[in-house]
Amino acid sequence: MTTSPDLAAAVRLFRLAAARYGLPEKLYCDRASIFDTVAFRTGLAELGVHRIKTRPKNAPAHGKIEAYHRCLARWFVGELRHQVVRSLAYLEDLLLAVLEVLYQDHWHREIRKTPREALGGRIADRLVALGRLEQAFFVRKSVRPDRKTGEVRIGALRFRVPGRVPTDRHATIAWDPVDPARAFVEDEPTGRRLPLEPLFAPERRERRPERGPGRLQQLLDRYRGRSLPQAQPGTGLPELFALLAKVVGRAVPLDEPEADRVQAFYRRKGPFERAPLEAALARVSERLGRGRPLAAYLDALERRVARGEPRKEGET
């Protein structure tokens, strides 16, 4: 994910897709200038990927992507209003969690299957080594190093060419658009690639998994293979006692064993959100009526809810 579309974002996304599914024969994208850069088009040509010609102002691509956008608007963009986002990298983790946990298993009425069923286990016949995949998109430029220091610049980053590279004429340097620190100079006499010496502190890429309050965090926990309960503010065991008291028509709990039973139910199925929990209890009360034992209401409620969310109408 990036704050604005650029060459690095386009190359990074293509590499991720090609590493996972293999090389495509054709690529469909809009008319953004980043897709027409020399580096991107050269990389596609080197890998044998044909760029499909498209018309301007045709972003939706006549139905090819609308379902995907609808899912993101409903499940991701809408929930972001209630989610604390720590950083851009954390936002990307949340998006990946939504795609893997929700979108991939969502029934697609056009293809009559889920995206995971459509793409599961499918790998293109055209494969390439990851090293070659990365090098295909390296940006190349002819520059003249500083005569005294041998320095060259790549954007805002400063490098020094190796001592064997002459500084009295131009040299061809190449760098990775995703990680410009990976740069080298092509030694014409030998054809070797000589690494450039960085004149800056390398960026630390290690980071701890971040967490932020919100329902999207629950999806991210499932995506990471762990379940960490997160209660909605002001909705816990005391509120469950109060809601059950309204349904049963008496004080809850009456004694310690009853309190233990309600608490055990909450640990198995909670935490809950207030509005869905109230709606589920209302349906249980409407179905069973008044005067039933507390255990009957808890059993009916347990059948209606999955962990952390009420079941939809029609589910058993």
Domain ranges for the chain: 7-119, 138-198, 237-310
- pTM for this prediction: 0.63
- For the chain, helix (H) and strand (E) counts, in that order, are 12, 11
User: What per-residue confidence (pLDDT) applies to 61?
Assistant: 53
Of the candidates 57, 78, 56, 75, the one whose C-alpha atom is nearest the C-alpha of residue 67 is: 75
Q: Is the dihedral of CA 235, 238, 242, 247 positive or negative?
A: positive
pLDDT value for 89: 84
- 56-69, pLDDT tens digit by residue? 765 555 555 677 78
Residue-level pLDDT at 57: 65
Residue spans of the chain under pLDDT 70: 1-4, 57-65, 202-207, 227-230, 306-316
pLDDT for 220 equals 86
Architecture in CATH of 7-119: 2-Layer Sandwich (3.30)
DSSP bridge partners of 140: 174
DSSP state of 218: H
